[in-house]
């Protein structure tokens, strides 16, 4: 084949440059003015405090990144401001269903972020899949979300609830505690924890002396506590949301009953809220899952570490952050990293970016590791005991040994 003449060659080069310029212009024109992040929060109802903490953390991230000109979006090779589009679901799944649908079909958000917890996330999971949108799931950890591979779900700020109680079960086995009472909310978040706990205990030959589920709306634990006491347990483990924990701990404090070990979930996430509602004395010597910022991660690969986030959040919001504030900020970080890694601005590319950062990223919440089913496995919670210290109290991590900051007081002293 003969070489083209100089004139023909120059015409081809000019045509190629013109085509490239057109492609670049079209690419630039396709870049949105802002990245719309759609989410929900609850201003009222049983999930309000946790939901608002998560939302505040996400808002804090958005404000900080916009001060820097926005997120770097690899697909457009530029920084673009983020805009949060948010609606109030009032802790109602029916309202949340309508509002998630509005975010997807009317607001046409670029990134969809679920509200707090498994209950309010549950209605978003099928909607996101139906519309082929990746659902960024900060704290919905119910086991039934993660039963098969999916391109449309990523649990980013909290481990799947099926793995939460594994350290707790191993601690009970290590302590040679045989008589265990389990009380749990009849929702996937709590019931899946109870199931995992029983499975691990069963391998050690431990069968609960009490095993009972209650409605998520349960608020009166008086009869339940006396029924539990009649089985003479050495450990009582209550799995519930924050309102359940508050009602349970209040009921225990007022009953005059005493157990050698008492465990609840949310003091480790919302210590200020639980202390305010039940009193410090009622929490003394009880156990929980400690979470950031009570547990701090110093070495991170993306974003601020836990201590730096606490300082920055305090400066911006004039209050101490809780775990849900950390979870909301972490959600923003994962979205940020997703956008700076995605070669194309599509939902499937977003999901692939999440998978590509999995196992290689550490944030203020610890290791980030999502499996093919969308479940977060990289942030296991240790076991801690709340013990009195001076006029207040402190959180002592008692298990596993490599994270322990002290030894448990067992059996718990009578208050």
Give residue 379's pLDDT band: very low, low, confident or very high (50, 70, 90).
confident
> What pLDDT digit, counting tens, does each position of 187-242 carry?
999 999 999 999 999 999 999 999 999 999 999 999 999 999 999 999 999 999 99
Of the chain, the percentage scoring pLDDT greater than 70 comes to 93
The pLDDT, as a whole number, for residue 21 is: 42
The pLDDT, as a whole number, for residue 391 is: 80
Q: Is the pLDDT score of 17 beyond 60? A: no
Domain ranges of the chain: 35-159+295-368, 166-288+382-403
Give residue 271's pLDDT band: very low, low, confident or very high (50, 70, 90).
very high
> What pLDDT digit, counting tens, does each position of 236-270 carry?
999 999 999 999 999 999 999 999 999 999 999 99
The pLDDT, as a whole number, for residue 415 is: 75
> What pLDDT digit, counting tens, does each position of 94-114 carry?
999 999 999 999 999 999 999
Q: What is the overall mean pLDDT for the chain?
A: 93
> What pLDDT digit, counting tens, does each position of 136-175 carry?
999 999 999 999 999 999 999 999 998 999 999 999 999 9
Q: Domain spanning 35-159+295-368: which superfamily?
A: Response regulator (3.40.50.2300)
Stretch 7-21: mean pLDDT, rounded?
A: 49
> What pLDDT digit, counting tens, does each position of 25-60 carry?
334 458 999 999 999 999 999 999 999 999 999 999
State the pTM of this model: 0.88
What 3 state SS string does the chain have? CCCCCHHHHHHHHHHHHHHHHHHHHHHHHHCCCCEEEEEEECCCCCCHHHHHHHHHHHHHHHHHHHHCCCEEECCCCEEECEEEEEEECCCCHHHHHHHHHHHHHCCCCCEEECCCHHHHHHCHHHHHHHCCCCEEECCCCCHHHCCCCCCCEEECCCCCCCCCCHHHHHHHHHCCCCCEEEEEECCHHHHHHHHHHHHHHHHCCCCCCEEEEECCCCCCCHHHHHHHHCCCCCEEEEECCHHHHHHHHHHHHHHCCCCCCEEECHHHCCHHHHHHHHCHHHHCCCEECCCCCCCCCCCCCCCCCHHHHHHHHHHHHCCCCCHHHHHHHHHHHHHHHHHHHCCCCCHHHHHHHHHHHCCCEEECCEEECECCCCCECCCCCCEEEEEEECCEEEEEEEECHHHCCCCCCCCCCCC
Classify domain 166-288+382-403 by CATH number: 3.40.50.2300
> What pLDDT digit, counting tens, does each position of 362-378 carry?
999 999 999 999 999 99
Q: Is the pLDDT score of 15 beyond 60? A: no
Q: Decide if 35-159+295-368 and 166-288+382-403 have a common fold.
A: yes
Give residue 5's pLDDT band: very low, low, confident or very high (50, 70, 90).
low
The pLDDT, as a whole number, for residue 380 is: 82
């Amino acid at each position: 084949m003969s070489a083209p003449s100089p004139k023909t060659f120059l015409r081809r080069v000019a045509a190629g440059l013109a085509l490239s310029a057109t492609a670049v212009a079209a690419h630039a024109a396709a870049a949105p003015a802002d990245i719309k992040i759609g989410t929900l929060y609850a201003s009222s109802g049983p999930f309000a405090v946790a939901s608002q903490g998560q939302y505040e953390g996400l808002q804090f991230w958005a404000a900080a990144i916009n001060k820097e000109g926005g997120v770097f979006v690899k697909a457009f090779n530029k920084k673009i401001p983020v805009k949060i589009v948010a609606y109030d679901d009032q802790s109602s799944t029916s309202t949340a269903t309508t509002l998630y649908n509005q975010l997807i079909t009317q607001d046409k958000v670029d990134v969809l972020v679920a509200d707090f917890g498994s209950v309010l996330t549950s209605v978003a999971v099928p909607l996101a899949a139906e519309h082929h949108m990746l659902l960024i799931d900060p704290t919905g950890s119910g086991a039934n979300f993660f039963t098969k591979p999916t391109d449309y779900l990523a649990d980013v700020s909290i481990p799947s609830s099926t793995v939460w109680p594994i350290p707790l079960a191993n601690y009970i086995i290590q302590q040679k505690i045989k008589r265990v009472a389990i009380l749990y909310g009849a929702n996937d978040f709590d019931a899946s924890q109870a199931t995992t706990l029983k499975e691990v205990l069963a391998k050690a030959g431990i069968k609960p002396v009490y095993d009972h589920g209650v409605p998520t709306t349960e608020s009166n634990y008086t009869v339940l506590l006396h029924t539990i006491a009649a089985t003479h347990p050495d450990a009582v483990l209550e799995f519930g949301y924050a309102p359940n924990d508050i009602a349970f701990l209040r009921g225990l404090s007022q009953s005059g009953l005493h157990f050698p070990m008492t465990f609840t979930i949310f003091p480790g996430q919302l210590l200020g809220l639980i202390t305010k509602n039940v009193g410090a004395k009622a929490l003394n010597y009880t156990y929980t899952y400690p979470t950031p910022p009570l547990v701090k991660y110093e070495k991170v690969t993306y974003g601020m570490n836990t201590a730096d986030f606490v300082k920055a959040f305090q400066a911006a919001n004039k209050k101490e952050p809780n775990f849900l504030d950390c979870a909301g900020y972490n959600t923003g970080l994962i979205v940020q990293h997703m956008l700076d890694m995605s070669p194309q601005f599509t939902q499937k590319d977003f999901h692939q970016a999440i998978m590509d950062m999995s196992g290689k990223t550490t944030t203020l919440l610890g290791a980030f590791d999502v499996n093919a089913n969308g479940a977060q496995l990289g942030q296991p919670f240790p076991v801690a005991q709340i013990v009195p210290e001076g006029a207040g109290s402190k959180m002592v991590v008692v298990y596993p040994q490599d994270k322990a900051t002290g030894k448990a007081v067992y059996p718990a002293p009578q208050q």
